[in-house]
Amino acid sequence: MIPSWLPASLPSPPEHTWYLGVVPVRAYAVALLAGIVVAAWVTMSRWRARGGDPWDVVNLAFWMVPFGIVGARVHHVLSLPGTYFGPGADPLAALRVWEGGLSFWGALAFGALGAWIGCRTRGLRLSSFADALAPGLFLGQAVGRLGSWFNQELYGPPTDLPWAVEIAREHLVTNPATGVAYPEGTTFHPTFAYEILWYLAAAGVLLFLDRRFKFGHGRVFWAYVVLYTLGRVWIEMMRIDETEILLGLRLNVWTSVVLGLVALAVSAVLARRFPQREESVEREPGPATTGPVPETMRRA
């Protein structure tokens, strides 16, 4: 029995945009930027502990963040083409990132490309940087996901649990069982909140594993992928927003299962090949290189 002193449900924020004069300040963008700052701060600390220069993280962020945002939006738009390019759709809505709709897989792929370019130009190991980044990435995602609460999106099926979230009429999605929008006053599972809790717990697990076993050569990052995909499967199974369906399951569920299995396999191979952490975060010189990477090249 639910105690009488608990609220019947949790309200959503009434506004997601504020104005400084004529300049809009959007909660989704603020949460996203705050998440980036948190991830960078944690990564700088971990990078320093591994022998790297904390300012490397700042420089690499200038590559990763723009690549990641573009990739996140591109993948989201391509996964729902009818929403942006179908009959009666507004193609320009594909550019309005602040309205929500960022794909993690697009962000990860393009962000990794940006990190690879940045590491190559600075003579750093991408695997070492990925290991330093992984726990902070979970924490940054937890902060960034708060933007979904303000946008009243990414919620699950109806429920009357005391932590159910209230959704305004204009943000109600279609009930897949009836084909019409849920009635006003319906409360839902806050799957975005479940996702935040999963990220916080997963970050703790990564920090424990890294401290206990001294993972290196990308093993922390691949453990991150395993934990992320594991959580994404059950969270995606709860969500009721529109998405592509493949063989009766959401496309992101299949993607998570496949990538989770790949991450497990890669983790097993790395554990056998590299039981010890690498001694330096700098890349080994290539065949045509004599001597260490010049300091001016790394700091340029």
Q: Are 225 and 259 in contact (CB under 8 A)?
A: yes
**Which residues of the chain are modeled with pLDDT < 50?**
286-293, 296-300
User: Per the annotation, does 145 bind a ligand?
Assistant: yes
pLDDT at position 252, please? 85
With tokens 């300040």, the residue in question is 25
Give me the DSSP letters along 95-122. G-GGGS---HHHHHHHHHHHHHHHHHHH
How high is the pLDDT of residue 224?
97
Kindly report, residue by residue over 24-71, the tens digit of the pLDDT.
Answer: 898 988 999 999 999 999 999 999 999 999 999 999 999 999 999 888
Please list, in sequence order, all residues whose beta carbon lies within 8 angstroms of the beta carbon of residue 126, skipping any fewer than 6 positions away: 115, 116, 119, 218
- Contact between 69 and 106 under an 8 Å Cβ cutoff? The reply is no
pLDDT for the residue numbered 6: 60
Compute the chain's Rg from CA coordinates.
21
DSSP result, 126-179 = HHHHHHHHHHHHHHHHHHHTHHHHHHT-S--SB--STTPEE--GGGPPB-TTTS
The tokens 């970050």 sit on which residue?
A: 203
The CA distance from 195 to 40, in Å, is 20
Identify residue 255 by its one-letter amino acid code. Answer: T
Give residue 52's pLDDT. 94
Is the dihedral angle over the CA atoms 181, 148, 133, 224 positive or is it negative?
negative
7 within 8 A of 162, measured Cβ to Cβ: yes
pLDDT of the residue at 287: 46
Cα separation, 80 vs 61, whole angstroms: 28
pLDDT at 253: 87
Helices 219-238 + 251-273 axis angle, to 10: 160
